[in-house]
A and B are shown apart, each in its own frame.
Chain A
Amino acid sequence: MGIRSYIRHLLKNKLYGIVTVLGFAISMTFVLLLSIYIQEELAVDEFHVNKDRIYRMENEAVDFSPPIAQDLKNSIPEIESFTRVLDSDARISTADSQKMKFDYLGVDTSFFEMFSFPLIKGRPKEVLQTPNSIVLSKSLALRLFGTLDVVDKQVSINTEHKFMVTGIMEDFPKNTHFKAQDAIVNFKAFKTLWGFETILEEYGFASVSIYFLAKPNTNLPAKAPEILERFKKDYWLYKDGWANSLVFTPLQDLYFSPKEGNGTQSNSKTLVLVLSIIVLLILILAIGNYINLTIAQATFRGKEVAIKKLLGSSKGSLLLQFVRESMLLTGIALFLSLFLLKLVEPVFNSLLNTQIDLDAKIGFWNLLKIVSVFGFIGAFSGFIPALKISSFRPIEVVRGQLRKKAKTVYGKVFITFQYTVTIGLLTCSWIIVKQTNFLRSKELGFSKDNIVQIEYLGAMNEKATIKNALLNIPEVEHVSLTWQSPLDGGSNQTFDYNGKPMSFQEIAIDSSFFKVFDIKMIPTQAAKAENGVYLNEAAISALEIADDPVSFKMEEFTVPIIGITNNFNFNHLRENIGPLMLRHLGESFYPQNIFVRINGKGMFKTLDEIKSTYAGLLDKTPFEVRFVDETINNWYIKEERTGKIIGYFTLLSFIISVMGIVAMSVFYMQQRRKEVGIRKVNGASITQILSMLNKDYIKWVGVAFVLAVPISWYALQSWLQGFAYKTTISWWVFALSGLTALCIALLTVSWQSIKTAAANPVEALRDE
């Protein structure tokens, strides 16, 4: 009977019911979703059986020479096995399939024994035994053959290299620090694939990641100082000062490592930390709000309680009634939030670029956890107001003195806290958007519009043919072939310059490059020569030859400088512009890119024409065509995503705080009805009453603003540290955030206060 009368009560107070249940359900949906995400992020690489024994060797980066791995295995007894990892991409085909671009790793034979990536076909020990064996991912096997029954079948890499399929692996899961790969080959395969016969012995090639499996119950990381000493004596990388440190990083830290290895992906630990804090804040806000609303509502039911008490109900049974009702409400919220969870899952996945699989996560234990959290909140939020109400003497409740007594400070503190969070989040998302826009609209030093980038896939001797064919399209203005490009940062070139190590980025270009990208170049006095280079201003100042920039010594060669360019950006704007060397794309240089400047008239038609012309010159190989400005926009996708996430949470926190204010204002206005009545009888106008009632809320938002400004300023300051080019943290962003929060607070509170201010004072006074 109790429950039925409660449902009747809810139906009568629809607004209260909807606000409470829906608000709580929405917040809990977010909390659940994010908790699952955080849980997954923290569990990356946990599935490896050997997870506690695998280490990656790292210096300032993670790059070592291939023979180092075997050297260490021979001399350090703690090492059980190792695998070198080197990532690359190429084109793969079968006898009767098209060529397809694919990403692969070259690894040592122990790879599948060390890591627990499941094999569908083949045994971990056997699949990589020979240099021409290849393990395909399930999806690549299906793409190539349409079936998984492909062991012992032959595939070709770049047409001429034949490999034998020895196994099929499941596609790498998301929760590993390795990027998804299409295939795994034996490290020795690079001998033929790259024509690099000496790769296994070449100390001079320092670009592979090395993983070690330590013997059980040993402490490999403790060996690092000893190895470092040795390296400093006899490994050029250390002797010449390219590297100075050495650590063994445990497998499970790799995902959060800022060092990018071969074929790895990472996440920022800060982002996960920030999300965890946000989850916690939202959880506190949601629970607090829910309790607040319930208490506010419960005080209105004081009369019911009083009458029940007068009629002989015990305190215990009243407590039970309140707890039961509150549990019913949280129960509804629970179902609603599970439903919402399912609903927003795809949105969330596309937003965070994750693959949360809810069905896998909502197992029995997780469900039990969720239910108990909800149960606890339900019981708690029923118990607190019940305790309060049921301990009043009935006569006080009947006389209406309850409201006065139920006045609390904590409600105000809570509102202030909520608004601090809201204003802080709003400011942060605003600045993040501002920074992203700033980066996107930053003057790059080159023109990025109307340039199409195509991969160069022709043969070595087809360079001129392809270029001329493209130039024949009327809408095409210039065509440039390059090795590396201003979009990928160039290739690093380090050399000894007057006894100092000097690090340049290098791009190889043909003569049309400056026209395609509209880069300012001033020729020097030096005569044009095949080995002549263009340097940017940063390089000139790094070489300290500003007075006479005609040539410089690169190790034993004298290199003529035939032109100087402005400091245009050739990398993501997180980085500063460093020294850049543009060398001539000679006969023997295989270009990677074709950049085509078009005149922008009938863009799509031109693009189609470029595609068909190019396809006609290639044999079947699929290729990608991209606009340069789009590529540049995509550089900031991570920032945009962070901004979006924080933006959504800002919205959520607004919803929650609006609910909080609704709850508090209902509660608060109820307390002040009598006062309002008296003031009105004594001549106060509605406007005067309204400003009096709203003043307090303005005060709380004001306090929240004062608290939120330094916190968010500090957070943003540290976030912007990561960028070479920073937007300003303008004062008006803070002001507008505060103002927005204030407006929303006032709108919400006015909804209640107008009602109170306009009420007939006679009624307020008669009730007392």
Chain B
Amino acid sequence: MLLQLNNIFKWVNSGGQRIFLLKDINLEVQEGEFISVMGPSGSGKSTLLNVIGMLDGFEEGEYHFLDESVHNLREKHRANLYKEYIGFVFQQYHLLDDLTVQENLEMPLLYKKLKGAERKAKVADMLDRFNIVGKKDLFPAQLSGGQQQLVGIARALISNPKLILADEPTGNLNSKQGEEIMDLFKQLNEEGVTIIQVTHSEKNAAYGSRIINLLDGRMI
């Protein structure tokens, strides 16, 4: 088992009222799964993804990731955990505009304190694997949306995560580019990476092995 959420509640207080973002979420994810989270706008999909990714906290409940109890961990420890095991892919790609493709890929490795040669090797590996060696010195603005997302995924993968969290990864892409990205996810999943994606599209959801539906913060 990769991770387990037990009775997760998340809320904010607004105007004296408690507004629930997540309500009693129970979820177990095994290694190698490919899960699609679906639901209308504001149903809590992204919030759930951020909680799983440890970017956001929660008010109640328990979260176990591998053997660790995330809800009891200190900030620093938690950061180490996700740095080690989790990669993120975003709808807006979130590449750094001032860095080249190569430098964007290298960035997470800098924070893992890898040596220069080791970083170079991993970046070269990744460029090769995604067929973007020719684009390594270009800036994000010089790439198409599909290519940018390719770099985004490569960056998420570069530190060999066990889990990839993708928030509408194809939301800004046309259908052909989107299909290519989804095929890539499928392939990664077959290679053993666990994937949880948020999506609006039934078609993209079908790539996954399991679909979770959310409505008003509650799993249905």
* Chain A residues near B (Cβ < 8 Å): 404, 674-675, 677-679, 681-685, 688, 760-762, 765-766, 768
* Separation of A24 and B79 alpha carbons in the complex (Å): 43
- Minimum CB–CB distance from A121 to chain B (whole Å) comes to 81
Interfacial chain B residues near A677, Cβ < 8 Å: 94
* Separation of A679 and B104 alpha carbons in the complex (Å): 10
B50 within 8 A of A: yes
Interfacial chain B residues near A684, Cβ < 8 Å: 110-111
* Separation of A681 and B93 alpha carbons in the complex (Å): 12
Known contacts A760-B56, A762-B56, A765-B90; decide if A683 and B96 are in contact (CB<8 Å). no
Q: Are A675 and B159 in contact (CB under 8 A)?
A: no
* Separation of A677 and B46 alpha carbons in the complex (Å): 16
* Separation of A675 and B50 alpha carbons in the complex (Å): 18
B122 within 8 A of A: no
**A-B residue pairs in contact (CB < 8 Å), sample of 10:** A674-B94, A679-B96, A681-B53, A681-B55, A683-B83, A683-B112, A685-B79, A765-B94, A766-B46, A768-B92
> Which residues in chain B, 49-104, are within 8 Å of chain A measured between CB atoms?
50, 53, 55-56, 76, 79, 82-83, 88, 90, 92, 94-97
* Separation of A761 and B53 alpha carbons in the complex (Å): 12
Known contacts A762-B55, A762-B56; decide if A683 and B108 are in contact (CB<8 Å). yes
* Separation of A685 and B96 alpha carbons in the complex (Å): 17
* Separation of A765 and B168 alpha carbons in the complex (Å): 14
* Separation of A675 and B88 alpha carbons in the complex (Å): 15
* Separation of A688 and B108 alpha carbons in the complex (Å): 12
Partner of B96, one of A678, A688, A766, A768: A678
Known contacts A762-B55, A762-B56; decide if A683 and B88 are in contact (CB<8 Å). no
* Separation of A700 and B79 alpha carbons in the complex (Å): 32
Q: Are B111 and A688 in contact (CB under 8 A)?
A: yes
Q: Are B55 and A682 in contact (CB under 8 A)?
A: no
Known contacts A688-B111, A762-B55; decide if A683 and B92 are in contact (CB<8 Å). no
B119 within 8 A of A: no
* Separation of A683 and B113 alpha carbons in the complex (Å): 10
Q: Are A761 and B55 in contact (CB under 8 A)?
A: yes
Partner of A683, one of B94, B95, B97, B111: B111
Interfacial chain B residues near A682, Cβ < 8 Å: 88, 107-108, 111, 155
Known contacts A681-B88, A682-B111; decide if A762 and B50 are in contact (CB<8 Å). yes
User: For residue B158, which residue of chain A has the nearest CB?
Assistant: A682
Partner of A685, one of B90, B108, B111: B111
Known contacts A674-B94, A762-B50; decide if A683 and B55 are in contact (CB<8 Å). no
Interfacial chain A residues near B97, Cβ < 8 Å: 404
User: For residue B107, which residue of chain A has the nearest CB?
Assistant: A682
Interfacial chain A residues near B79, Cβ < 8 Å: 683, 685
Q: Are B107 and A760 in contact (CB under 8 A)?
A: no
* Separation of A95 and B125 alpha carbons in the complex (Å): 111
* Separation of A681 and B82 alpha carbons in the complex (Å): 9
> Which residues in chain B, 86-142, are within 8 Å of chain A measured between CB atoms?
88, 90, 92, 94-97, 107-108, 110-112
User: For residue A678, which residue of chain B has the nearest CB?
Assistant: B94
Interfacial chain B residues near A688, Cβ < 8 Å: 111
- Minimum CB–CB distance from B69 to chain A (whole Å) comes to 21
Interfacial chain B residues near A674, Cβ < 8 Å: 94
Interfacial chain A residues near B108, Cβ < 8 Å: 682-683
Q: A683-B82, A683-B111, A761-B55 are in contact. List 12 more A-B contacts (CB 8 A).
A: A674-B94, A675-B96, A677-B94, A678-B94, A678-B96, A681-B94, A682-B88, A682-B108, A683-B108, A684-B110, A762-B56, A765-B92
* Separation of A225 and B101 alpha carbons in the complex (Å): 80
- Minimum CB–CB distance from B84 to chain A (whole Å) comes to 9
* Separation of A681 and B159 alpha carbons in the complex (Å): 13
Interfacial chain B residues near A404, Cβ < 8 Å: 97
* Separation of A361 and B90 alpha carbons in the complex (Å): 65
The winner among B53, B55, B159 for most chain A CB atoms within 10 A is B55
Q: Which 6 A-B pairs have the closest CB atoms?
A: A683-B83, A683-B111, A682-B108, A762-B55, A684-B111, A678-B94
Q: Are A760 and B55 in contact (CB under 8 A)?
A: yes
- Minimum CB–CB distance from A142 to chain B (whole Å) comes to 75
* Separation of A674 and B56 alpha carbons in the complex (Å): 16
Interfacial chain A residues near B155, Cβ < 8 Å: 682
- Minimum CB–CB distance from B30 to chain A (whole Å) comes to 25
* Separation of A678 and B107 alpha carbons in the complex (Å): 10
User: For residue A758, which residue of chain B has the nearest CB?
Assistant: B75
Q: Are B50 and A679 in contact (CB under 8 A)?
A: no
* Separation of A684 and B55 alpha carbons in the complex (Å): 13
The winner among B82, B90, B111 for most chain A CB atoms within 10 A is B111
* Separation of A431 and B55 alpha carbons in the complex (Å): 53
* Separation of A584 and B129 alpha carbons in the complex (Å): 105
* Separation of A685 and B74 alpha carbons in the complex (Å): 13
* Separation of A768 and B95 alpha carbons in the complex (Å): 12
- Minimum CB–CB distance from A635 to chain B (whole Å) comes to 59
- Minimum CB–CB distance from B89 to chain A (whole Å) comes to 10
* Separation of A404 and B141 alpha carbons in the complex (Å): 14
- Minimum CB–CB distance from A111 to chain B (whole Å) comes to 76
User: For residue A768, which residue of chain B has the nearest CB?
Assistant: B92
Interfacial chain A residues near B94, Cβ < 8 Å: 674, 677-678, 681, 765, 768
* Separation of A762 and B10 alpha carbons in the complex (Å): 15
* Separation of A404 and B95 alpha carbons in the complex (Å): 14
Interfacial chain A residues near B111, Cβ < 8 Å: 679, 682-685, 688
* Separation of A613 and B107 alpha carbons in the complex (Å): 88
* Separation of A642 and B90 alpha carbons in the complex (Å): 61
* Separation of A101 and B69 alpha carbons in the complex (Å): 92
- Minimum CB–CB distance from B109 to chain A (whole Å) comes to 9
* Separation of A681 and B53 alpha carbons in the complex (Å): 9
* Separation of A762 and B56 alpha carbons in the complex (Å): 7
The winner among A682, A685, A766 for most chain B CB atoms within 10 A is A682
Interfacial chain A residues near B96, Cβ < 8 Å: 675, 678-679
Known contacts A762-B50, A765-B90; decide if A683 and B159 are in contact (CB<8 Å). yes
User: For residue B55, which residue of chain A has the nearest CB?
Assistant: A762
* Separation of A684 and B79 alpha carbons in the complex (Å): 9
User: For residue B83, which residue of chain A has the nearest CB?
Assistant: A683
> Which residues in chain B, 1-60, are within 8 Å of chain A measured between CB atoms?
46, 50, 53, 55-56
The winner among A683, A765, A768 for most chain B CB atoms within 10 A is A683
User: For residue A679, which residue of chain B has the nearest CB?
Assistant: B107
* Separation of A685 and B111 alpha carbons in the complex (Å): 8
* Separation of A476 and B165 alpha carbons in the complex (Å): 93
- Minimum CB–CB distance from A499 to chain B (whole Å) comes to 81
* Separation of A761 and B112 alpha carbons in the complex (Å): 18
* Separation of A19 and B153 alpha carbons in the complex (Å): 44
* Separation of A678 and B97 alpha carbons in the complex (Å): 11
* Separation of A768 and B155 alpha carbons in the complex (Å): 20
Interfacial chain B residues near A765, Cβ < 8 Å: 90, 92, 94
- Minimum CB–CB distance from A505 to chain B (whole Å) comes to 71
The winner among A404, A677, A765, A768 for most chain B CB atoms within 10 A is A765
- Minimum CB–CB distance from B97 to chain A (whole Å) comes to 8
Interfacial chain B residues near A681, Cβ < 8 Å: 53, 55, 88, 94
> Which residues in chain B, 149-172, are within 8 Å of chain A measured between CB atoms?
155, 159
* Separation of A674 and B90 alpha carbons in the complex (Å): 13
User: For residue A761, which residue of chain B has the nearest CB?
Assistant: B55
- Minimum CB–CB distance from B44 to chain A (whole Å) comes to 13
* Separation of A765 and B88 alpha carbons in the complex (Å): 12
- Minimum CB–CB distance from A407 to chain B (whole Å) comes to 10
Interfacial chain B residues near A762, Cβ < 8 Å: 50, 55-56
User: For residue B51, which residue of chain A has the nearest CB?
Assistant: A762
User: For residue B99, which residue of chain A has the nearest CB?
Assistant: A675
Interfacial chain A residues near B76, Cβ < 8 Å: 685
Interfacial chain A residues near B46, Cβ < 8 Å: 766
- Minimum CB–CB distance from B45 to chain A (whole Å) comes to 13
Interfacial chain A residues near B110, Cβ < 8 Å: 684
- Minimum CB–CB distance from A747 to chain B (whole Å) comes to 24
- Minimum CB–CB distance from A678 to chain B (whole Å) comes to 5
- Minimum CB–CB distance from A675 to chain B (whole Å) comes to 6
User: For residue B75, which residue of chain A has the nearest CB?
Assistant: A686
User: For residue A681, which residue of chain B has the nearest CB?
Assistant: B88
Interfacial chain B residues near A675, Cβ < 8 Å: 96
